[in-house]
Amino acid sequence: GNSVTQMEGPVTLSEEAFLTINCTYTATGYPSLFWYVQYPGEGLQLLLKATKADDKGSNKGFEATYRKETTSFHLEKGSVQVSDSAVYFCALSDPWSGGGADGLTFGKGTHLIIQP
């Protein structure tokens, strides 16, 4: 079946530090990959996505590249801000897997804390 593994947190960084949150996946078909962010007390918001190998998704200074050879979709940002503090979820959608339920398969989430 499909699965997503991401680094566990909390991850604590100082403002303006470089951020990497690792994400690897297992899928039987040709998945699309997503990063969602959840701010306290809110639902999930799409941060970026990539739909095929070598695609790079980017938004708000965050970026991630779909690496089929390493089955990875690591999230990076060059200079984080306090406002980036949130929980980040890596997810995949694999509608071509031919079985099982539809919907996103999520990693367990990484809590990011940025200190001033």
Contacts with another protein, residue ranges (CB under 8 A): 31-32, 34, 36, 38, 41-46, 49, 51, 87, 89, 93-96, 100-106, 108-109, 111
Q: Please, what is the minimum distance in Å from the beta carbon of residue 110 to another protein?
A: 9
Which two structure tokens, joined as six digits, stand for 113?
Answer: 């804390």
Nearest CA to 93 out of 46, 38, 37, 39 is that of 46
CB–CB of 109/6 below 8 Å? Answer: yes
Cβ nearer to another protein, comparing 14 with 100: 100
Q: Which is nearer to another protein, 78 or 103 (CB)?
A: 103
Helices (H) and strands (E) in the chain, counts: 0, 12
- In terms of CB distance, is 61 or 95 closer to another protein? 95
Single-letter code of the amino acid located at 41: G
Task: Please report how close the Cβ of residue 104 comes to another protein at its closest, in angstroms.
Answer: 6
